[in-house]
């Protein structure tokens, strides 16, 4: 067991666009409120990400009391009502998940095409989950918990550790490779003051609030195997050092499986799903727990 502190909270309202740093956030079964609430799809409803379109990293996001706002330096902002009045329901796909979604309309589609262009001669569409549809998390690593998520790859929470990043950056520096910031890993809850990679040896994360009184529990599902996105600058969409940091992470081997792993995929624990909605904030204490010790 190790007690740390939440140093950052980040949401990504639109999948694969820039994130928003928060001082505090409401916790829901689907993740931090508004996280991955929207995504961009092509005419066929297939989700699009930085994996194949790095330029998505150049679009900024913000949220007001009433609107989602998308910004790009060369275009006027796009505003989308938080409370949708769309009735245009359609099918969309995130990996193997078929989802019922609502299209945010022609103005949003036109704006995305102006900023990013066409995707293989197809238009772009901004969609949100239909309110009556529930997307299940991957059952393979969720210990049977029937949790739901929005448009995250597989799980509603991604927990990362500043000391794990420090150890990775030390390895990069030893190879004369530039260090990278935490935003490359697109985590939601970033924790400090705990040993590097303790998240890969823990079963859950107890959320202790400011006064170390437990407010909720997040169950870890599996270490997050990284795709090429951590190699993409999250403001410019450039790839400064091809094959990095994946190659270095692969060689560090902090988990039994082979691969480049950083951070923990997680779900809200069953005991916390029945709780009233609760908040977490920067400065809150957290405890990494290994049930076998």
pLDDT tens digit string along 30-41? Answer: 999 999 999 999
CA angle 209, 262, 287 (to 5 degrees): 25
Tell me what the mean pLDDT of segment 189-202 comes to. 96
Tell me what the mean pLDDT of segment 215-232 comes to. 94
- Identify the weakest region by mean pLDDT among 27-31, 215-219, 276-280: 276-280
Residue 277 DSSP symbol: P
Name the token pair of 268.
Answer: 């809200």
User: Which helix (H) or strand (E) element contains residue 21?
Assistant: strand 20-22
CA 21 vs CA 267, 281, 283: distances in Å: 21, 11, 14
CA pair distance 83, 199, nearest whole angstrom: 36
pLDDT for residue 180 is more than 70: yes
pLDDT for residue 254 is more than 80: no
Residues 6+ apart with CB under 8 A from 205: 159, 189, 191, 217, 218, 220, 266, 286, 287, 288, 289
* φ, ψ at 230 (rounded to 5°): -60, -15
pLDDT for residue 128 is more than 80: yes
pLDDT tens digit string along 6-31? Answer: 999 999 999 999 999 999 999 999 99
| pLDDT at residue 140 in the model | 64
Confidence of residue 145 (pLDDT cuts 50, 70, 90): low
Reduce the DSSP state of residue 169 to 3 states and report it: helix
Strand partners, 69: 62, 79
Please report the domains of the chain, with CATH numbers, ordered by start residue: 2-32+138-289 (2.40.33.20), 38-132 (no CATH)
- 18, burial (CB in 10 Å: exposed 0-12, middle 13-18, buried 19+): buried
| pLDDT at residue 144 in the model | 63
Residue 276 DSSP symbol: P
In which residue are the tokens 């609502």 written?
102
- Identify the weakest region by mean pLDDT among 102-111, 130-139, 237-246: 130-139
CA pair distance 156, 268, nearest whole angstrom: 8
Residues in the chain: 293
pTM strictly above 0.85: yes
Tell me what the mean pLDDT of segment 259-270 comes to. 93
The rounded percent of the chain whose pLDDT value lies above 70 is: 96
Query: First and final CA of the chain: distance in angstroms?
Result: 8
Is the peptide bond between 257 and the residue preceding it cis, with omega within 30 degrees of 0? no
Tell me what the mean pLDDT of segment 31-52 comes to. 97
């Amino acid at each position: 067991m190790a007690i740390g502190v939440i140093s950052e909270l980040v949401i990504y309202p639109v999948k694969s666009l820039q994130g928003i740093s928060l001082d505090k956030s409401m916790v829901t079964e689907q993740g931090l409120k508004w996280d991955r609430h929207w995504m961009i799809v092509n005419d066929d409803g297939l989700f699009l990400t930085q994996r194949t379109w790095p330029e998505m990293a150049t679009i900024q996001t913000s949220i007001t009391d009433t609107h989602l706002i998308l910004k790009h330096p060369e275009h006027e902002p796009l505003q989308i009502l938080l409370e949708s009045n769309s009735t245009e329901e359609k099918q969309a796909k995130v990996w193997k998940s078929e989802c019922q979604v609502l299209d945010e309309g022609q103005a949003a589609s036109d704006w995305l095409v102006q900023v990013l262009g066409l995707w293989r001669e197809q238009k772009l569409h901004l969609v949100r989950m239909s309110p009556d549809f529930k997307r299940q998390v991957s059952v393979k690593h969720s210990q049977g918990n029937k949790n739901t998520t929005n448009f995250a790859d597989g799980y509603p929470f991604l927990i990362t550790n500043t000391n794990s990043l420090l150890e990775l950056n030390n390895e990069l520096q030893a190879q004369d490779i530039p260090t990278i910031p935490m935003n490359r890993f697109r985590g939601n809850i970033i924790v400090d003051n705990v040993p590097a990679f303790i998240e890969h040896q823990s079963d859950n994360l107890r959320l202790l609030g400011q006064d170390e009184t437990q407010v909720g529990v997040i169950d870890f599902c599996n270490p997050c195997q990284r795709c090429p996105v951590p190699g993409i600058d999250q403001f410019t969409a450039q790839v400064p050092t091809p094959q990095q940091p994946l190659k270095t992470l692969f060689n560090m081997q902090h988990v039994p499986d082979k691969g480049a792993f950083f951070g923990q995929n997680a779900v809200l624990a069953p005991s916390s799903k029945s709780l009233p909605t609760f908040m977490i904030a920067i400065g809150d204490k957290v405890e990494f727990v290994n049930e076998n010790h």
